[in-house]
Chain A
Amino acid sequence: MLDMLTAKPVPGAVVPSWTGVVRYLHITPRAFLPMREMPELTLIAGKGIEGDRYMIGREEGFYSHKPEEGRQVTLFEYETLMALKRDHNIDLAPAEHRRNVTVAGVPLTHLVGRRFWLGEVLLESTRLSIPCRHIEEITGKAIFDPLINRSGLNCKILQGGTVRVGDAVRNVQ
């Protein structure tokens, strides 16, 4: 992974503007339950994550009554967790933001409507995530305001596969 982040571009090649890494993976089977950290997740194209609340056919999430293909998998920036601590002195653990994938080095707000690789899985973002009071109820932390405009990315899964912690996140070339 480090090689990918530090590799020098081949002369003449098109260089992707960013390359990131999967830091944490989480799922939960039902609304309100704690997210559980996983070493890997299985993503099914057009459906969701095996074992997660928003997997199509399972529908046990807080928003499952409002189906949306962009809830198949959700991402969150690790850098936001650091910013919450730095700017607001809020300790928010990766399990608490309730998105499935915590990535580092990935400019999520730039990816709306774009395709990108999460390890071997191809995603297409549908919209930015919106914070919700529900998360304050669950965590007991006043994080609604600080998360506005940086509460993650909703994506649909175009090509499924296994995603592991440490996998690269890359732009589609």
Chain B
Amino acid sequence: MNAVPITRVRTIVDKIEDGGRDIKVFSLVDPDRWELPPFRPGAHIDLHLPGGLVRTYSLCNDPADDRRYVVAVKREAGGRGGSIVLHDEVKVGDTIGVTLPRGGLDLAAEVTRFTFVAGGIGVTPFLSAAAWLKRTGRSNFTLHMIARGAPPLADLLAPLRQSGHVVIHDTSVGQRPDVGALIGRPLSDVALACCGPDAMIDDFEQASRDWPADCVHIERFVPPPLPVDPDAKPYVLALARSQREITVAAGQTMLSALTDIGIDVPASCCGGICGSCKVDWLEGQPVHRDRVLSPAERERSLLVCVAGSAKDRLVLDL
């Protein structure tokens, strides 16, 4: 029996291929080559790496290629360490836990043309999107690839270059292109997307400021925090029996905050109906969002998977 819940998709490193200077391309598969959870073009996953590092990478492959997650990783010697672990320690056959895919490009049917602007390794989500667009017969797109010297992932880019979908901007022989000139004026049937270093993203945001927001997609190397309830506030959760105090961040569940410090509260549905995570509270004013506790029970207990706090401090009998 597993003593702890399974929280990640278990994958095996099936292949590691050369993606150009300082880049490796990792193919992750299920141990039985089962289909992996589906993803949108250009979605990203978190890789849980040896040593407890968690790093986010865009998927490069076509969503129809449902037996693999392909990520391209550039070794950043001065980075935070994730790419170094992947390059120097991870080998074919290793097990890597990954999260369910998130995000990705909204390639809405009413949009007939796409302009993608990629900086260096930021091309990865567009390789996925381009494969999806070509396969589904929507070939009216241009990928502007801005890189110093030879572009990364040449093998993956090759079919797109042959079909005339890629414009290479080599900044080792010329100025970095004017992003505004690449994307042009707003058009109702065109969507834009950009992925690259922060400076390029800043230029792109400035150049696309007159475009409708739903036609513009930006993918950063470091994803911004997940959106939270704008009315949510952090609060202190005091644990009377263990004499600890923790802060529950705005939008975070009590259950998540407790799990983070190693307190294993039995939880099942995580939606406030099964009652398995019922905990007694001692002081404060809980916000009950469950559907199972009676008014009398709520005077004493709450469900940590959905409850919040109306005040700055809440004391639990834990």
Stretch at the interface among B4-12, B52-60, B119-127, B212-220: B4-12
The smallest C-beta distance from B33 to any residue of chain A, in angstroms, reads 10
The smallest C-beta distance from B109 to any residue of chain A, in angstroms, reads 17
Pick from A34, A67, A148: contact of B1, CB below 8 A.
Answer: A67
Tell me, in angstroms, the Cα distance from A56 to B6 when the chains sit together: 16
The answer to whether B268 and A132 touch across the interface, beta carbons within 8 angstroms, is: yes
The answer to whether B3 has its CB under 8 Å from any CB of chain A is yes
Pick from A33, A62, A137: contact of B5, CB below 8 A.
Answer: A62
CB-contacts of A42-66 with B (<8 A): 59-66
Residues of A within 8 A of B31 (CB): 30
Residues of A within 8 A of B34 (CB): 28-30, 33-34, 36
Tell me, in angstroms, the Cα distance from A60 to B37 when the chains sit together: 16
Main secondary structure of the interface of B (DSSP, over half): loop
The answer to whether A82 has its CB under 8 Å from any CB of chain B is no
Closest B residue by C-beta to A137: B100
Tell me, in angstroms, the Cα distance from A65 to B4 when the chains sit together: 6
The answer to whether A131 has its CB under 8 Å from any CB of chain B is yes
The interface bits of chain A over 74-98 (1 if a CB of B lies within 8 angstroms of the residue's CB, else 0) are: 0000000000000000000000000
The interface bits of chain B over 241-275 (1 if a CB of A lies within 8 angstroms of the residue's CB, else 0) are: 00000000000000000000000001011110110
The answer to whether A33 and B1 touch across the interface, beta carbons within 8 angstroms, is: no
Residues of A within 8 A of B38 (CB): 34
The answer to whether A32 and B100 touch across the interface, beta carbons within 8 angstroms, is: yes
Chain A residue total in the interface (Cβ 8 A): 26
Residues of B within 8 A of A138 (CB): 37, 100
The answer to whether A31 has its CB under 8 Å from any CB of chain B is yes
Closest B residue by C-beta to A27: B34
The answer to whether A38 has its CB under 8 Å from any CB of chain B is no
The smallest C-beta distance from A112 to any residue of chain B, in angstroms, reads 16
CB-contacts of B268-315 with A (<8 A): 268-271, 273-274, 291
Main secondary structure of the interface of A (DSSP, over half): loop
The answer to whether A34 and B6 touch across the interface, beta carbons within 8 angstroms, is: no
Tell me, in angstroms, the Cα distance from A61 to B10 when the chains sit together: 12
The answer to whether A64 and B9 touch across the interface, beta carbons within 8 angstroms, is: no
The answer to whether B36 and A134 touch across the interface, beta carbons within 8 angstroms, is: no
Tell me, in angstroms, the Cα distance from A63 to B3 when the chains sit together: 10
Closest B residue by C-beta to A136: B271
The smallest C-beta distance from A107 to any residue of chain B, in angstroms, reads 22
Closest A residue by C-beta to B6: A31
Pick from B2, B8, B269: contact of A64, CB below 8 A.
Answer: B2
The answer to whether B274 and A30 touch across the interface, beta carbons within 8 angstroms, is: no
The interface bits of chain B over 1-30 (1 if a CB of A lies within 8 angstroms of the residue's CB, else 0) are: 111111011100000000000000000001
The answer to whether A4 has its CB under 8 Å from any CB of chain B is no
Tell me, in angstroms, the Cα distance from A29 to B10 when the chains sit together: 11
The smallest C-beta distance from B252 to any residue of chain A, in angstroms, reads 15
Pick from B2, B35, B271: contact of A36, CB below 8 A.
Answer: B35
Tell me, in angstroms, the Cα distance from A118 to B235 when the chains sit together: 51
Pick from A31, A65, A133: contact of B270, CB below 8 A.
Answer: A133
The answer to whether B1 and A133 touch across the interface, beta carbons within 8 angstroms, is: no
The answer to whether A144 has its CB under 8 Å from any CB of chain B is yes
The answer to whether B155 has its CB under 8 Å from any CB of chain A is no
Residues of A within 8 A of B100 (CB): 32, 137-138
The answer to whether A29 and B3 touch across the interface, beta carbons within 8 angstroms, is: no
The answer to whether B32 has its CB under 8 Å from any CB of chain A is yes
Residues of B within 8 A of A65 (CB): 1-6
The answer to whether A144 and B271 touch across the interface, beta carbons within 8 angstroms, is: yes
The smallest C-beta distance from A111 to any residue of chain B, in angstroms, reads 20
The answer to whether B9 and A132 touch across the interface, beta carbons within 8 angstroms, is: no
The answer to whether A130 has its CB under 8 Å from any CB of chain B is yes
The answer to whether A134 and B37 touch across the interface, beta carbons within 8 angstroms, is: no
The answer to whether B271 and A133 touch across the interface, beta carbons within 8 angstroms, is: yes
The answer to whether B274 and A62 touch across the interface, beta carbons within 8 angstroms, is: no
Residues of B within 8 A of A133 (CB): 269-271
The smallest C-beta distance from A163 to any residue of chain B, in angstroms, reads 21
The answer to whether A29 and B1 touch across the interface, beta carbons within 8 angstroms, is: no
Could you show 17 A-B contacts with beta carbons less than 8 Å apart?
A29-B32, A31-B6, A32-B6, A33-B30, A33-B37, A34-B35, A61-B6, A62-B6, A63-B268, A65-B6, A130-B268, A131-B269, A132-B270, A132-B271, A133-B270, A133-B271, A137-B100
Residues of B within 8 A of A (CB): 1-6, 8-10, 30-32, 34-38, 66, 100, 266, 268-271, 273-274, 291
The 5 closest A-B pairs by CB, nearest first: A133-B270, A31-B6, A133-B271, A65-B2, A32-B9
